[in-house]
Structure 1
Amino acid sequence: MKMEKWDLYNAKREKSGITVCRGEIIPKGLYHLSVSAWIVNQQGQYLLSQRHPKKQYPLYWECTGGSVLSGETSLQGAIREVKEELGILLTPGSEKLIYQTRRENVQDFYDVWLFYRDIKIEEMRLQETEVVDVQWVSSDKLFEMFRLKQLHPLITYVDQLIG
């Protein structure tokens, strides 16, 4: 498996010219770029995937996401992650950047994208080491799962997602 390389950014989100490999310590004052991609269908349902039991936060539900690779934009990283984890090919055009923050505890800039796409669960090709299940849920069900702490703990912005 190829080692993931990340570009590092300063506190103003400017590329620093430094790259690190996943797992290496990120120097203080620098950040990598992480993304999440929410997919909504025509019924207004949100696609959730369930994390593999051997990953950190095992079996929590989440949207697809991960780290942006060196040379990629935030949007390119989101599209790649969805392809890798769910086998869904998204094309840029209808996406919307709905949330951005800098998280000091994990030293990243975190971008959340929203895509509109109808796809049947049977058509998805789950990455076995990452995802064990998927489901479409209504916004009410999503809020309920958030309230019951069934979503990944870093998903703290559900109100902006549905808002």
Structure 2
Amino acid sequence: KLNMLESKVIQTRCEKEIFIEEKSNININGFRSLDKNIPFYELMIGLDLMRIRDDEYYGTKKSYVSVRISEDLQSLFVLEPDVQSIFAIKNKQEKEAAIELIQYLLVDSQTFKQVVSEMIGNLKKENVVNGFEVKEAKAKLAVLERLLNVSDEDINFTIRRENIA
């Protein structure tokens, strides 16, 4: 059978940003636990996007989206990170396309779920010693397990939708 790779394309004014759905193109990091100032768990999802400009390959770029998860793990908030945001310099339509990609990733992408499952497996193998590390690892585990089961209704996009460019 043909094994076609899934890909998603965001068409911007000057180029196509192509997300090819492979584990190596998805990266989850920057985990932050609750603290008294920020009552959210937070993590960064990085995607490697291939750039095509005038039908020429233009290299890849890493684009990020920031995800906050409520303390009760019920709601997910997708925000623009300060750097390398997937929403940067995009107009309204282009942002909508990026939003669609993030929604697909969090809700439907089996590849994303594989990446999360591997992280869970690695975390469970880690040897955590002191109390703080144990608490942190438990929180991270709960958040990652939450990411395995996200529905459209769970996600709130808090992206500035105005036209920047």
Higher relative contact order (CA 8 A, sep 6+): 1
User: Could you state the TM-score of these two structures normalised by the residue count of structure 2?
Assistant: 0.26
Bigger radius of gyration among the two: 2
User: Could you state the TM-score of these two structures normalised by the residue count of structure 1?
Assistant: 0.27
Which structure is higher in helix share? 2
